[in-house]
Amino acid sequence: MSHAQHTPELPATVARLDHTAVFASDRQLSAEFLAAVLGLEVGAPFGPFLPVDLGNGVTLDYYEKRDEPIQGQHYAFLVPEEQFDTMIARLEALGVTYFADPGHTEPGRVNDLFGGRGAYFADPDGHNMEIMTRPYVRP
């Protein structure tokens, strides 16, 4: 058998994000929070990581860091239009304020960028999360 028969098929694009580590002060809390908002499940621990599979071949691997502050990052999720209202309702049920803008100055509002809808919210460690129904139009 050739080596190619044992190698998984590579993506047709040059590169595709497979996974990324998300630092958290409590990996279980943060992973469960995001999974609850997006309607996903937290996977089984994998070494020091607690994964949330986004269902598109990308996994967010929560990694616990308790000995130093967490530097907030931005994570944007393209979500189906028909699930957007449900996700907003989940944020409301969790008592999490959402915003129309990344600076979090327009509370309780959603935006209508690029013909879709979007909202920003903070996770338990202050990561700036975004849900949007249309991808950004780039120049």
User: Which tens digit of pLDDT belongs to each residue from 67-120?
Assistant: 999 999 999 999 999 999 999 999 999 999 999 999 999 999 999 999 999 999
**pLDDT band at residue 133 under the 50/70/90 scheme:** very high
Contact 65, 98 (CB under 8 A): no
Kindly tell me if the per-residue pLDDT of 23 is higher than 70: yes
Task: For residue 87, count other CB atoms closer than 10 A to its CB.
Answer: 20
**pLDDT band at residue 3 under the 50/70/90 scheme:** very low
- The percent of residues in the chain predicted with pLDDT above 70, rounded, is 91
pTM score, two decimals?
A: 0.88
